[in-house]
Amino acid sequence: MKTTTRVVVIGGGVVGCSVLYHLTKLGWSDVMLLERSELTAGSTWHAAGGFHTINGDTNMAALQGYTIKLYKELEEITGLSCGLHHSGGFTLATTQDRFDHLLAERAKHRHMGLDTHIMTPDEIKKIAPITNIDGVVGALYDPLDGHLDPSGTTHAYARAARMAGAEIVTHCRVLETNPRADGTWDVVTEQGTIHAEHVVNAGGLWAREVAAMAGHYVPLHPMEHHYLVTDDIPEVYERDTEHPHVVDPAGESYLRQEGRGLCIGYYEKKPRAWAVDGSPWDFAAELLPDDLDKISDSIEMSWHRFPVLATAGVKRVIHGPFTFAPDGNPLVGPVPGLRNYWSACGVMAGFSQGGGVGLMLAQWMTTGECERDTSSFDIARYGPWIQKGYTLPKVMENYSTRFSVPYPNEEKPAARPLLRTPMYDVFDGMGAVWGHYYGLEVPNYFAEGDEPRYETPSFRRSNAHEATGRECRAVREGVGINEIHNFGKYSVTGPNARDWLDRIMAGRIPAPGRITLTPMLSPSGRIIGDFTVSCLGEQDFRLTASYGAQAYHSRWFDQNIMREVQVINISDRTSGFQIAGPKAREVLQTVTREDISDMRFLDVRTLTLGLLTVIVQRVSYTGDLGYEIYCDPLEQRTLWDQLWAAGQPHGMKPFGMRAMMSLRLDRHFGSWLREYSPDYTPAETGLDRFIAWKKPVDFIGRAAAEKAREDGPVRQLCMFEIAAEDADVKGYEPLWINGEVVGFCTSGGYSHHLGKSMAHAFVPTPLIAPGLEAEIEVLGVRRKAKRIDTPLFDADGGRMRG
């Protein structure tokens, strides 16, 4: 065993082996993998080996598509068989809501290039006759679905890595990982210590323990999971072709052919967590005792859907643990707060996702960034607020709802409330219907009178529609108030603060008393942040951005910090409100003795409001005349009392996130991770207008952004008005022109002020023309759409700036 290496990967499951292979594929051959037992000894060996591309998140679906295509490459490189069966598979819908979901998924697949099909019950019966189609509305068929041999596949990754120079050491448990001052690591093992530049935690079932060795907490939990393999079934083995996979979400089951019988697994509603207090080190290549009582309801439902099961004998019962993050997605990337320490954990579908996870991590390690937006699987989507007590109930909820319809507006209840601002009780008393955002409770909207305090999950307009309209009108006609705790906020101070900002942000850094908007770019020129920068003094700046991106942005700031600059995340140390609408100025003037009539759009000032000295920024994401007022959280209730009292003569109403996301559409404002994400460039999204091309600074991403400007974008973001009925665009719906899918939507919604359904969509540049007519497919129906060239509200910005 060598004692120095560039990378130590801890864990020889499918994920660790994939990471190892991809590192070698991208040119790092001085890499090694340490496995405490034999390869596959964690959750990998007993997996059912199923794989599929379908995933509600398009970036996860892309990783899954990559993984499935990779297996042939592995077989060719190594000569080993992955035991591939491309049997195709479908997901059943037994309610209109679930069918809506499948229609929405099919629509997304059109621009993703996935050849899925919607099937009728008769078509289902034809290709999978063992399915009882009673109550089935339809299904989504994916020809790429299939299954493989988990052990063979893991060994194929391992052999491919070895062939490219990687070393794999088995029976070598890692006992400690100790950082050195220069950012490298001493990895202490049963067989000696290895000095490594980088460490990757691919510890699977033991990822929590491995993370703890480096002093960090990884938010995942192992769950117990069952599948059964039946004896031979004539209706299965007498077929000419392999039986397709069938997922019956309402019945909580997935089914496929195994030899001459069937294999059926269950995601039961009352699941059980495994090893709550830590995974035992003496557990290796083992199963858990059968517990058929736990899945008896699911078994009964599967007998109804697949009657042949009721009489088939059970040949094998597999009951084993595997890990889940609170949202069910992998936890990948550089661990915030640690140098050269990487996570490849929480991969609950190693055979659908393991290849993509390995590729993404290897790209990140070897080049500093990934080719696509990582937000859905980046470990930094969880911040320091994540803790054990939260993870367990959220993982339980995720497991038990794995096959529930994933409504875009659903707010799941487990582990809430976790973080609350001082305004929680006040807003709750005013009828707040709460959302959950990066651990924090945030009002989505306010119910009034007899309106229910619960938003009905739906793909169509929900019961929040009326209330949201009411709040939008309050803003546009008078004044609305909304808490700004849920903005990510940073203080940047020190002699080099301006230089640092000039380097890290692509836009202009403002003079004292002023505010600018700026994109933050990756080295390859893609958007990794959209920031508001306020200059309080020559060495004193404030940044605001997405609350949910705090760990992501802080990690980037840490990685690119300069001497004599202090960057502090003050998101939870600073709170306040925004007031917006034509009466906002009058409200603000009522509570301060200082004259604010000369406060221009994009000015920032320190003002005394009654008892408090606060920072006021003249800017509003609602696109209206508005002010953001920042204070200490302990002062927030006092500030509220003042603003609320001053707002009453003007009909002030509180407004929530639903109204904010509707109001921004009136002015065509994009939003983080919808329009502005690492999948897109400033030139494509229009954010290039905020780039300070003339500043004499080599800001990060400059060369790439200049090249993109020179080449011109091949697609551009446009705003459309859609002839929708009761369902608006959510994101990734295809855009049709002349009978062809040419683009897709990034987000949309209903503009209550304009009375129109709106959507942002990417259109190929050559097709963009004034008043362009197109169609946007919403829930399977192609709706007429017309490009809106300039905002229909406040087109000249007079109201916002006036």
Ligand X SMILES: Cc1cc2nc3c(=O)[nH]c(=O)nc-3n(C[C@H](O)[C@H](O)[C@H](O)COP(=O)(O)OP(=O)(O)OC[C@H]3O[C@@H](n4cnc5c(N)ncnc54)[C@H](O)[C@@H]3O)c2cc1C
List interacting residues with ligand X (CB under 6 A): 10-16, 34-37, 41-44, 46-51, 173-174, 202-206, 210, 225, 227, 318, 320-322, 347-352
The minimum distance between CB 713 and ligand X, in angstroms, equals 37
Contact 201, 341 (CB under 8 A): yes
Contact 439, 386 (CB under 8 A): yes
- Extract the runs of DSSP E, i.e. beta strands, from 556-688: 566-569, 575-580, 604-609, 612-617, 626-631, 653-654
The minimum distance between CB 238 and ligand X, in angstroms, equals 25
Q: What is the DSSP string of 204-241?
A: GGGHHHHHHHTT-----EEEEEEEEEE---HHHHTSSS
643: amino acid identity, one letter: L
CB atoms near residue 79 (< 10 Å): 10
The minimum distance between CB 405 and ligand X, in angstroms, equals 21
The minimum distance between CB 298 and ligand X, in angstroms, equals 14
Q: Cα–Cα distance between 476 and 538 in angstroms, integer?
A: 36
Q: Cα–Cα distance between 172 and 159 in angstroms, integer?
A: 18
Instruction: Give whole-number Cα distances, 188 to 15, 39, 174, 213, 288, in Å.
Output: 22, 19, 6, 10, 30
DSSP three-state, residue 480: strand
Nearer to ligand X by Cβ, of 104 and 357: the residue is 357
Nearer to ligand X by Cβ, of 148 and 619: the residue is 148
58-78 vs 350-367: helix crossing angle, rounded to 10: 90
Q: Give the phi and the psi of residue 61 in degrees, each rounded to 5.
A: -60, -40
What stretch of H or E contains 175? Answer: strand 174-179
Nearer to ligand X by Cβ, of 71 and 351: the residue is 351
Question: Strand pairing of 575-580 and 734-737?
Answer: unpaired
Nearer to ligand X by Cβ, of 149 and 572: the residue is 149
Nearer to ligand X by Cβ, of 322 and 434: the residue is 322
CB atoms near residue 770 (< 10 Å): 8
The minimum distance between CB 201 and ligand X, in angstroms, equals 9
The minimum distance between CB 132 and ligand X, in angstroms, equals 23
Nearer to ligand X by Cβ, of 46 and 787: the residue is 46
How many CA atoms within 13 Å lie on the side-chain side of 97?
14
CA 223 to chain centre: 22
Nearer to ligand X by Cβ, of 323 and 550: the residue is 323
Nearer to ligand X by Cβ, of 107 and 348: the residue is 348
The minimum distance between CB 464 and ligand X, in angstroms, equals 36
Structure tokens at 591: 């509570």
Residue indicated by tokens 């709040």: 471
The minimum distance between CB 241 and ligand X, in angstroms, equals 21
The minimum distance between CB 212 and ligand X, in angstroms, equals 10
Q: What is the DSSP string of 383-402?
A: -TT--HHHHHHHHHHHHHTT
The minimum distance between CB 311 and ligand X, in angstroms, equals 24
Nearer to ligand X by Cβ, of 24 and 43: the residue is 43
CB atoms near residue 566 (< 10 Å): 13
Nearer to ligand X by Cβ, of 13 and 548: the residue is 13
